[in-house]
Amino acid sequence: MWSQIAEELPRFFGYHNLIFFAKALGSTFALSVIGCVVGFSAGFVLATLRMSKRASLMPLRLMTTVFVELFRRIPFLVTLMLVFFIFQGLQADLSMFSVALVSVCLIATAFIAEIVRSGLESVHQNQWDAAATLNFSYWQTLQMVIIPQAWKIILPPAFGFFVLFIKDTALASQIGVIELAFAGKAMSNKGFSATLVYGTVLILYFMLSYPLSRFGKYLETKLAPTRNR
């Protein structure tokens, strides 16, 4: 087996294959980053909506809660397939990457909305009370008092989710998106030994994920609350 691998190596790391892997890596990264950026923005909006107490926003709040609870409890693969088939049913001619992107954004939004909500709730009630007695509106309180204090609590787990999410994108290969996992399958189909192919893919994911996860741990220690209240 090892001699076979040694023999394949030069062909495997040939120019075209390297470009192919690089593009695939880029897709994986793009899916994760765009998914999380959209997820963070939309998730933030949803979280602030959920925390408001205005009666008029009740239907929106309900929909938000349903959305978040739903998309956190459906496996990535099932969400992906559903989005794929719904778009197909609507006869929308979307690329596989777009389908995957939509799925990724929906899921990231749901999970990050929870993280943001948890962070906002961790700010002590007395900050809300003080702002209320000074007649701050809900949005003023959020903007000037709560969010400045909550972002340090939100950022580490949000970043952690991003790192986790990179690995989830591997499932996009199942609808034919040319990302890293798909690249592995493709190379395997070309005849290269599975050990070489999947070993390389594992290492590539590792190289993408590990530095980011170290950075995430660094963020966590740097933003840790220095004092309570």
191 by Cβ neighbours in 10 Å (0-12 / 13-18 / 19+) ranks as: exposed
At closest approach, how far in Å is the CB of 118 from another protein?
A: 8
In total, the chain counts a number of residues equal to 229
Closest CB to another protein among 124 and 222?
Answer: 124
Closest CB to another protein among 19 and 82?
Answer: 82
At closest approach, how far in Å is the CB of 108 from another protein?
A: 15
At closest approach, how far in Å is the CB of 42 from another protein?
A: 20
Closest CB to another protein among 49 and 145?
Answer: 145
* Encoded amino acid at 81, one letter: M
Q: Which residues contact 130 (CB under 8 A, 6 or more apart)?
A: 145
Closest CB to another protein among 44 and 182?
Answer: 182
At closest approach, how far in Å is the CB of 210 from another protein?
A: 5
Closest CB to another protein among 41 and 140?
Answer: 140
At closest approach, how far in Å is the CB of 213 from another protein?
A: 6
At closest approach, how far in Å is the CB of 161 from another protein?
A: 12
Residues in contact with another protein by CB under 8 A are 1, 4, 70, 72-79, 81-82, 85-86, 88-91, 126-127, 129-137, 140, 144-145, 148-149, 167-168, 170-171, 173-174, 181, 184, 188, 193-195, 197-199, 201-202, 205-206, 209-210, 213, 226-227, 229
Closest CB to another protein among 15 and 135?
Answer: 135
